[in-house]
Amino acid sequence: MNLAIFDLDNTLLKGDSDYNWALFLIKKGLIEKEAFEKKNEQFFQDYQAGNLDVYEYCGFQFGVLKNNKRDVIEALRDQYLDEVILPMIPKKAYELVESHRQKGDRLLIITATNSFITKPIGKIFGIPDLIGTDPEEIDGKFTGKIEGMPSFQEGKIQRLEAWLGLQGLTLKSFEKTFFYSDSRNDIPLLERVTHPVATNPDAALMEKAKIQGWPTIHLW
């Protein structure tokens, strides 16, 4: 069996689900526009540059979960999926996932974005297995902190290895391992799989792909 791993933001999605979630909440009046929008933009630029402080960023993002009632934030998430996320999914992204499904490959999404937002997105693609950065919960309430290791940069490798280990597997358990990503932040994991694919790549990943001879695809 093969394993096909997909990044989410700017790979299967035409845009960033975390960044757009913040913009959505601003429009809904849950967070103050001027201060939050400026901070959100700075974090987004840091991510693209490859120097994001993921703990600071998640503390910033998870405060929204902590400071609102669970039923309210879940209802808003459902609305966000319908209004914002579905239009962000290009046809070719569905087709890419389906091509691996038809071959009988194991499917996994791995993303730095929080799992509260991304697990339902995985279900839209019919992919139940997703590794994301998990917001900590105690007694059903969000604390505003990260639970465990963020799935960011080298953290994606650690989280993937732990996920596989729980099943008695490693990457070498699969005949072929694919990873599709757009970002320089995912180069560590791209270097670990047998079939790395630069997907809608940023400039740094495009250059790396040229040097390594990795295939490049665009989904929009």
For residue 132, is pLDDT > 90?
A: yes
Q: Tokens representing 165?
A: 């280990």
Q: Is 139 a known active-site residue? A: no
Cα–Cα distance between 104 and 100 in angstroms, integer?
7
For residue 118, is pLDDT > 90?
A: yes
Q: Tokens representing 143?
A: 């604390």
Which tens digit of pLDDT belongs to each residue from 6-42?
Answer: 999 999 999 999 889 988 988 888 877 776 777 767 7
> pLDDT averaged over the chain?
92
For the chain, what is the domain count?
1
What distances in angstroms separate CA 26 from CA 14, 19, 76, 116, one per listed residue? 20, 11, 12, 18
pLDDT at 49: 79
* Other beta carbons less than 10 A from residue 125's beta carbon: 21
Is the Cα dihedral 146, 149, 151, 155 positive or negative? positive
Cα–Cα distance between 153 and 29 in angstroms, integer?
32
| Strand, coil or helix: 145 | strand
Find the domain containing 116 and state its range: 3-217
Cα–Cα distance between 146 and 134 in angstroms, integer?
6
Catalytic residue among 9, 18, 182, 202: 9
The answer to whether residues 18 and 76 touch, using CB atoms and an 8 Å cutoff, is: no
Q: What is the arithmetic mean of pLDDT over 203-215?
A: 98
The answer to whether residues 59 and 213 touch, using CB atoms and an 8 Å cutoff, is: no
For residue 46, is pLDDT > 90?
A: no
pLDDT at 60: 73
Catalytic residue among 7, 18, 134, 202: 7
Q: Is 9 a known active-site residue? A: yes
Q: Tokens representing 77?
A: 């998430």
Amino acid letter for position 192:
R
**CATH code of 75's domain:** 3.40.50.1000
Report the share of the chain in percent with pLDDT over 70. 99
Report the share of the chain in percent with pLDDT over 90. 66
